[in-house]
Homo-oligomer: A and B are copies of this chain.
Amino acid sequence: MSPIRLDEPSEMPSTIGGGQITVSEYIFRRLCQVGIKSLFGVPGDFNLALLEHIYDVPELNWIGCCNELNAAYAADAYAKTSKQMAAVVTTFGVGELSALNGIAGAYSEFAPVLHIVGTTALAEKRSPNAKNIHHLIANRKIYQKPDHYVYEKIAKNFSIATASVDDDMEASCEDIDHVIEAIWRNSRPGYIFLPCDLTERVVPEERLEIALDLSYEVGCSSEKIEQVCNRIIERIYSSQNVSVLAGAFISKFRMNKLFDRLVELLEDKVNFFDTYMSKGVYNEEMPRYIGTYFGEKGNKVVSEAIEASDLVLCFGSFSNDMNTGFFSFKLGDDQIADINAQYTHFGGQMDTDVTMMDLLPVLVAKLDVSRVNTAVKYTNIPRQSLRNVHADVDAPLTEADVGRNIENLLQPHDVLIIETCSFMTGAYRLKMNGACLVNQCFWGSIGYALPATLGASLALRDFQKPGKVVTVEGDGSAQMSLPELVSMLRYNVSAIMLMLNNDGYTIERALNGPYRSYNDICGNWQWTQMLKTFGDINEEKSKSYKIDTAKQLYALTSTAEFHNEKRFQMVELIVPKFDMPWNYKQYEVKELSS
C-alpha cells in the first residue's frame, strides 16, 4: 500500500503581504474559527484553485471522498457527532448536484453543513454571451444563453443562507460570514459559491479578527420571555404528574448543558422520556428515566406512562412520522408545553418569537423545585433494553441478537450509527449506555451509514473525544455508498461495522413484494474480502469477520480487545432474509422452495 504522503507546503505564501490573504484562505480560516478540522469533498476543475488554499491553513485536513454524495453524508455525520459544524467542497454542477441528497438530508434533519461550490468564472456567469461551459445545463432553447446561476437558485431550497461571491470582496466576505453564522444558529446547511476566477482575490487578513456572531438571535423582549416562562412555571406548580419529553433539537441547538441542569433540578420529582431522534440525551440509569416514547408503535407501558401525565414539558421535539411512531403520539394540546427550537406552543398560545433557547435559561433560573409536585413513581417499567431477548445461541443469528450484542458492546461516548434498514425500525428500544445515536431517522436515505461512519469517526478523532463508532449497516444499503470503505483505510479509521447480510432490501420486502426481483440485490458480496480488495491486502488497517450464530457474535463482542481494536473492523452478520425487527409490521412469509 502506498504511504499517505504529506503535502508539501503551499506554493503561495499564506499571507500575500501587506496584511492581505486570498478569499479562499479567508473562507478556510473562518471554518477553523468555528472548529472545523476536517473538510470533506471531491476535486473538480472548478474547485482546484480553491482547494490549493487548504494548504495555507494547516489546521484543516482535506478528506477526499469517493463521490460527492458520500462526502455530504460524511459531513452530516461529522456535524451531528461533533455538535459543531461541517463543510463539504464540490465542483460546479456535477459535483454539487451529486451531493444534493446529502445536503437536503442535513437541511431536513437540522445538521449544520456548509456546502462550498467552485463555480464557473464570474466573467462568464455575468456575460451577456454566456456560453455552454461543461457541467452547465444547456438552455432549453440551445440558441439562447445558459443560466450559470441555475444551481444556485435550486440550492436555496436546501439552505438557510447562500453567498455567491462576486468582485465586491468586502460584501462577499460579509455574505460568507453571514452564511456561516446562519448555519450555526439555525443548525441547517448553507452554501458558498466561489467562482473559479476569484479564488486568488485578496481581502484584509484583519477581517478575520471580527468575531463571528454565533449567538442565537433573540426574537422578542426579555419581558415576553419571562411572561411565557412564568405561565409555564405556574402550570408546572399546579400539575400533579409532570413529565419531561426531550426532543432532538436539544442537541441540534446545543442546549444539552442547560437541559442537563433542568433534569438535575427535576430528577426526583418528574418522569423523563426521550424520542427516537434524541436517544442518548439522558443518563438511562436515572431512576425516573422511563424510556423512549414511540406512541402506539412503541412500548405500551412507556406510552401509557407519558400519556397519563397532566403536563408534558416537551423540549425541542421534532414532529415527523419516523420520530413519532407514525404520528401515533397521544398527547393533547392542553397536556403539552411545546418548547421548541423555533416556537413555543402552550396553553392555546403559539409564539413564534419565543424559543427553547430563550426559555431554558430563564426556566432553569426561576424554577423553584420545592413547589413541583412529585409525579407518579412507576415501578413496573422494565429497563429499556433488548437483553431480555432470549436467543437460542445455536440457532441462526437474528436482528434481535444483533441488538442485544450492541447493548453489550456500547460504551459511554460511543457513537451508534444505524442505517435506514430493517434493523432501524426496532432500534428505538436499544439501551444506549451513554452512547449517542447518529442516523437519518427522518430523512432516511439508504446508504448514509457507511460514509457517516467515516465522518463520525473523524469527528471523534478531531475533537479528541473518547469512544468509538459502531455502525449497523444493511447489505442493500451498503451497496449504495460502498466505495467509501476505502476511506476507512486511507484515513486510518478504527470503527466497527456490523454488516447485516440478509440478501437484499429486507425493509422493503416487509412493505411489498417479499419475493420480488426489485427487492433483490446481487447476493454474493464477499464482505470479508472487501477491505483487502480495497487495498488492505495484509489486514494492516482492517480486520474482517463472518458471524452466523448469536454464540459467535457474543464471543466476539464481549471481549475488550474487540472494542479496543485500532483497526477498522468489518463484521459480516448472516441473518435470515426475512428476519424482521421486533416491532415492525408482521407478515406471513412462506419460504419458496428454491
Contact = CB atoms under 8 A, between A and B. Distances in A.
Interface of A: 1-5, 7-8, 41-45, 48-49, 51-52, 54-55, 62, 64, 66-67, 69, 93-94, 97-98, 100-101, 104-105, 107-108, 110, 131-138, 140-143, 150, 154, 157-158, 160, 318-322, 327, 340-343, 345, 350, 352, 442-447, 479-483, 486-487, 489-490, 503, 505, 508, 511-513, 515-526, 529-530, 532-537, 592, 594
Contacts of A1: 523-524
30 contacts: A2-B523, A3-B594, A5-B517, A8-B515, A43-B505, A44-B508, A45-B511, A48-B518, A51-B513, A62-B517, A64-B517, A64-B518, A98-B445, A108-B136, A110-B138, A131-B321, A132-B318, A132-B321, A132-B442, A134-B442, A135-B445, A137-B158, A141-B352, A143-B342, A143-B352, A479-B483, A482-B482, A489-B522, A523-B535, A526-B533
Nearest to A323: B132
Nearest to A322: B134
A341 B482 CA distance: 41
A146 B442 CA distance: 13
A530 to B, nearest CB: 6
A42 to B, nearest CB: 8
Number of copies: 2
B522 A532 contact: no
Contacts of A132: 318-321, 442
B520 A49 contact: no
Given A518-B43, A594-B5, A343 B143 contact: yes
Contact of A341 (B136, B142, B516): B142
A533 B529 contact: yes
A137 B104 contact: yes
A134 B62 contact: no
Given A94-B446, A143-B345, 6 more contacts: A42-B480, A55-B516, A69-B69, A142-B341, A143-B343, A524-B536
B445 A94 contact: yes
A157 B537 CA distance: 46
A481 B479 CA distance: 10
Given A321-B132, A535-B526, A513 B48 contact: yes
Contacts of A525: 486, 533-535
B535 A533 contact: no
Given A100-B97, A515-B8, A533-B530, A340 B143 contact: yes
B143 A107 contact: no
B508 A443 contact: no
A178 to B, nearest CB: 16
A443 B594 contact: no
B480 A66 contact: yes
A444 B44 CA distance: 10
A363 B5 CA distance: 62
Contacts of A594: 3, 5
A522 B490 contact: yes
A513 B105 CA distance: 32
Contacts of A138: 107-108, 110, 320, 442
Nearest to A48: B512
A593 to B, nearest CB: 11
A314 to B, nearest CB: 13
Nearest to A507: B45
A587 to B, nearest CB: 13
